[in-house]
Homo-oligomer: A and B are copies of this chain.
Amino acid sequence: MNAVRSNDPARQERLRALNLELVFRHVLAAEAPVSRTELAAATGLTRPTITRIVEELIAGRLVTETGATPDGRAGRPRMGLTVCRSGPAGLGLDIRTEGLAACVVDLGGAVRHLAFAPFTDTEAPAVLERLGRMAAEAAEAVSAEGLTVVTATLAVPGPTDAGIVRTAPSLGWRDVDAGALLAEHLRHLDVTTNVDNEANLAARGELHRATPDHFLYISGGLDIGAGIILDRRLMRGSHGWGGELGHLTVDPDGKPCRCGSRGCLQTYASLAAILHGETLPEDLTADAALLTWADAGRPETLAALDTAATALGIAIANVLNLLDIDTVLLGGSFALLSSWLIEGVEAELAQRVLSSRWAPITVRPATLGPDAAAIGAAMAVVDLIRRDPTAWLASGR
C-alpha cells in the first residue's frame, strides 16, 4: 500500500482512476439502464464529476446512452446509461473433446458469436493454425456489429505455464508453446493473448452467471479437470496448475493412468473409461452415445456410469473435506450425464464429507453447457477492463 498525500498529483490521478472505476462498476452491475442522477446518488460523487466520467466512458466505448426507456411510471420515459454492446469484445478459443470452438462476448457478457469445427488434426501446429483462422473469422463477423476484439484467450485441456501447455494427455501434447503459436497466428489482430486451463476458464464463465461465492466446477470429458472458486476468485495455486482433479487417487492400487500414477479418477470417470472400449456408432459423439445407451437401460453402460459416479464422489469428497466448499457444478460431459451421476456422487459425499452431517451439499449440472470454457475465456475482456478501466482508456484502443 502506498501513502496517499493530499495535493499530490499522483494521488489526484489515482483518485480520478478510482472514481472512474467505481462509476463503471455501477453501470456494469446495474440490471437496467441507470441515469446520471442515480449514479451520483449511488457513488456519492458530485454531478459534475459524474458528467465528466460518463463522457470519458462513452468516448472510450465502455458505456453507451440508451434511447428513452420507460421507468415504470406512465408517461415518464428517461435516458439511461448501459454497458456498451458495440465496443471492445473478448474472443475465447477452446480445444475440447470433439473439436475447436471460437466465441466472442461483448462487455456485457452476452455471446455475440459462436463457431465450432470438428478436429481434422490434433497436432499442435495444425490446431493453432486452425484456431487462428477461426479467430480471424470471428473478429470479422463481429466487426460488422461495431465490436472490436481486444482479448484472445485459449482454453486448453491441461496445466499451462506462461503460455506453455505443460501436458495435455488427451491431445498428446507436451511442453507446447501455445501462447507463442497463437500470437503468431493472431499478429494481424491487435489483441492481448493468454492461455489457461479449460476448467479454470469454464469456472470463471460460470462465476459470471449468478452462482454462489464458493464452488467447485468439474469439467468432464476425455480429461477431467476442476476450477475452484473461493470468495468469487479463481484459486490458481503457486503456478496456476491447480485443479488436476482427474489425477486425484481414488484407489492407490487401481489401474495405471497415462500420467504414470495408478488409480487416478481419470481411469474410472473419463469418457474413455465410461465407454470401456465400446466402439461408437458413426453418427454419435461419445456423450450422445452414452446418453442413448443409458436411456435404453444398457447394463454395461449403467454399470460404468455407477462406477464413474462412485469414483467421482470419492474424489469430490476429498476436495470438499479439504476446501470446505458446498456447491459442486458438473460441467462438460458430466453436465449431459448428470442425471446418471448425481445420485452416486451424493451417496459418497454423505458418507465421506465430515461437514455433510451438519451442512447440506448441492451437486448440480453447470449452466453454460459445453461452451463454458469458450465463454469463460471470452469473458477475459470484462475482467481486463473492469480491473483497470483507466488504463484501458489510456491505451487509446
Contacts and interface: CB of A to CB of B under 8 A. Distances in A.
A17 to B, nearest CB: 11
Given A6-B6, A247-B352, A242 B323 contact: yes
Contacts of A5: 44-46
B252 A322 contact: no
Interface stretch (A80-88, A116-124, A311-319): A311-319
A260 B351 contact: yes
A226 interface: yes
A42 B371 CA distance: 50
B352 A242 contact: no
Contacts of A259: 354
A1 B18 contact: yes
B249 A252 contact: no
Interface stretch (A107-115, A232-240, A328-336): A232-240
Interface in A232-288: 235-245, 247-252, 259-262
Copies of the chain in the assembly: 2
A21 interface: yes
Nearest to A262: B351
A14 B249 CA distance: 50
Nearest to A310: B252
Contact of A45 (B3, B317, B359): B3
A367 interface: no
A214 interface: yes
A126 interface: no
A395 interface: no
A6 B228 CA distance: 40
B239 A2 contact: no
Contact of A252 (B4, B6, B21, B250): B250
Interface of A: 1-6, 12, 15, 18-19, 21-22, 25, 43-46, 159, 166-167, 213-214, 226, 228, 230, 235-245, 247-252, 259-262, 310, 314, 317-319, 321-326, 351-355, 357-359
7 contacts: A3-B19, A5-B44, A159-B355, A238-B324, A238-B326, A240-B324, A249-B352
